[in-house]
Structure 1
């Protein structure tokens, strides 16, 4: 089934009225938004960056030269970059800390979902101390797991995952210790433990949890404005096609490409350049999904299991004494199923097929990435070391033998 959390405007208005506008944090606070992933982080980062020149007149600074200081935060959390990307260095983090300190006594806001990947209490304590110590107030944004899981799976596929969605769900929900193939998933999305780790360092009085309501599309923007003491409607959504989720057909195409890529032993750097930053990026920018495109759907058993975990996490978070903004009951709600396009048309379901236009745009993106390479950096067969050629050819021969 495909999850559907839409509702009418009256419900949204009732929710806003019941919730009210949160009281602003004290002047001089450094608001540290730690995500986790797939909870509206890209949208809020885009809105903050777009408003960075207007916020200082209201006493708020966004201390970053880009929308998302990802490399700096990856370095602080001792994490490598995406598959094939250069590994961030401590220098990235040091430069970012200097930018934060340059804000002086002003209120400032820092946002990165990769803070949720901090490996232990010592790393969290170091991050908090270097970003302002007692001035730091931690903000955690949460969405229901059933909304996060399909989006996170296709993101893992964009980083080389070859496992199908059903198989991935089996591993995440049914196969203890639930760490393979992506140990980062529960590190990020076991939300009660995530909140608990940061509470241990800063205390419950300096942690705010915001439950994102997907029916209230601008609710997160308004919450940030309230906490920062900004005027209403200063933060506005910024269109970002590069951040859209892939459709089921697009994800399946990429997943099968990942199998070929890994099976032939090609280097990770090539994947980063040609696939993720070439084919996938261009495809997402050039092609917008339509109502006929099938979204990634979560089976009923997995939706119910995710809701049960959500209920458990909600109870533990509420018992910690942190401030909770929004409706915690959303985290354990089981959404109603939404029919797939084939079902609505009364047709039998088929394997997801990618359209010729989308395939062409993906191929063009890869070719454009090759063409953009500086002269001399694109290796031909003649320019490849013989050992590497033997390794690649060996992989291909073994693969063909297995097929036979």
Structure 2
């Protein structure tokens, strides 16, 4: 369904007209709105898209470092610091597409801090050739996914406590000030429309019941054949169960308490324990999912209604049903099951951390002279291991 917000008309249904040839479609997310799925599909189909006159200029599925640098944002905890050179390389790839249509996608564009940054991004990517695409989902569906993603980046706060901070404790900036910058969707759309112009902004309300709907929308806007874009299985991007998230959250507490270097978190925890656990373990029907309390669902729906109303007055094009943003989902059936980590899941997580440590062997280390391993406390052993891994990582 397409809503033309420039006129007071009833929404109409019909085929979308492709964007003009030579458009640079800039998909800015935000997070948890189908971004990983569409990025995987675009990257997998880049050669076939090129045959139809559409380029995907990035050399990876998601040029995260480049976009973080453009938005003056730090990298994820322990990751390589983004630099301007990352952004310049992406710009070179975009400019190499010449007058052809192209598409760039990163949810981190939603983190652009101000109009000046947005203006620079739009101008450097092509000025009036840029068409901004924003994908939206209901807050009630975004919140649990975003919380567990923050936990994967070191957050130590429990879900309900985090919800109270985001929804009940102004100014709603702790512990994650990025949440409302990304997910106060009306203000996000307003910022980009103010710079790019409302006529060059399209908002897509994602309907989770239509699994291929977002793919078909991208195909229509880019003038691609139907069904060219297909989902790419990505177990590494699956959401964590409640038990897995709680295990990681408690690990984060121990990690912070030990004052260990952040590089080790990236290497051993995020890309070691968590990544291997995601790839090796598929949640079953008995695994407890992250459940949002009803008070928070209703608060999110109220904010969603306000955001949809404001977006409808901005003159941008809206595709999909804006009322989905304020829908209150049916409360899940209560379960007596407790979030418990299965032994094999814990084993895979531990193995992932050990494998990551083994991938960074330490050379030229002196042997202990006065104490054996068994005479050394576990806390000291962890610090020694981490120090050695860190030395190896820095050499690499």
TM-score strictly above 0.5: yes
The structure-2 alpha-carbon separation of the partners of 1:253 and 1:32, relative to structure 1 and needing over 3 Å to count, comes to: same
Q: Contact 2:75 / 2:81 at 8 angstroms: preserved in 1?
A: yes
User: Does the alignment pair 1:205 with 2:192?
Assistant: no
Alignment of 1:275-354 (within 5 A): 275-340=269-334, 343=335, 348-350=336-338, 352-354=339-341
2:17–2:220 CA contact under 8 A, matched in 1: yes
Looking at structure 2, the residues matched to 252 and 113 of structure 1 have their Cα atoms a distance apart, in angstroms, of 25
> Is contact 1:192–1:313 with CA below 8 Å preserved after alignment?
yes
Cα distance in 1 for partners of 2:337, 2:126 equals: 55
Match of residue 344 from structure 2: 357
Structure 1 segment 3-402 matched on structure 2, within 5 A: 19-340=13-334, 343=335, 348-350=336-338, 352-376=339-363
Distance of 2:345 and 2:154 partners within structure 1? 20
Give, in whole Å, the separation in 1 of the partners of 2:368 and 2:205: 53
Q: Please give the TM-score of this superposition, normalised by the length of structure 1.
A: 0.87
- 2:290 counterpart SS class: coil
SS at match of 1:140: strand
Give the whole-Å Cα distance in 1 for the aligned partners of 2:366 and 2:184: 43
Secondary structure of 2:167's match? helix
Cα separation, 2, equivalents of 1:57 and 1:381: 62
Listed one character per residue, the Cα deviations across residues 30-88 of structure 1 (whole Å, up to 9, x for unaligned) are: 00000000000000000000000011111100001110010100000001110011111
Structure 1 position 349, deviation (Å)? 4.5
Distance in 1, Cα, partners of 2:17 & 2:237 = 31
Distance 1:202 1:74 in 2: 20
Q: Gapped runs of 5+ residues in structure 2?
A: 1-10, 370-378, 384-396
The answer as to whether partners of 1:47 and 1:236 remain within 8 angstroms in 2 is yes
Cα distance, 1:380–1:46 mapped onto 2, change above 3 Å? farther
Cα displacement (A) at 1:380: 9.1
Q: Which runs of 4+ in 1 moved over 2 A?
A: 17-21, 374-382
Please report the RMSD computed on the Cα atoms of aligned residues, expressed in angstroms.
1.9
Does the residue aligned with 2:312 lie in a helix, a strand or coil? Answer: helix
Distance between the aligned counterparts of 1:115 and 1:23, measured in 2?
A: 25
Tell me the secondary structure at the aligned position of residue 46 of structure 2: coil
Q: Cα offset for 1:22? A: 1.6
- Write the distance in 1 (CA, Å) between the matches of 2:33 and 2:73: 20
| C-alpha distance in 2 between matches for 1:317 and 1:185 | 19
Structure-2 separation of matches of 1:355 and 1:85: 29
* Whole-angstrom distance in 2 between the partners of 1:379 and 1:272: 26
TM-superposition CA deviations, 1:160-185 (whole Å, max 9, x none): 00000000000000000000000000
Cα displacement (A) at 1:265: 1.0
Is 1:58–1:230's contact at 8 Å kept on the other side of the alignment? yes
Name the SS of the counterpart of 1:289 in structure 2: coil
Alpha carbons 2:58, 2:90 under 8 Å: kept = yes
TM normalised by structure 2 equals: 0.89
Aligned to 1:388: none
d(CA) in 2 for partners of 1:163, 1:141 = 28
Query: The residue matched to 1:222 in structure 2 has which SS?
Result: helix
Alpha-carbon deviation of 1:211? 0.2
Checking the alignment, whether the CA contact within 8 Å between 1:19 and 1:325 is kept in structure 2 is no
Contact 1:370 1:378 in 2 (8 A): no
CA contact (8 A) 1:21 1:223 kept: no
3-state SS, counterpart of residue 77 of structure 2: coil
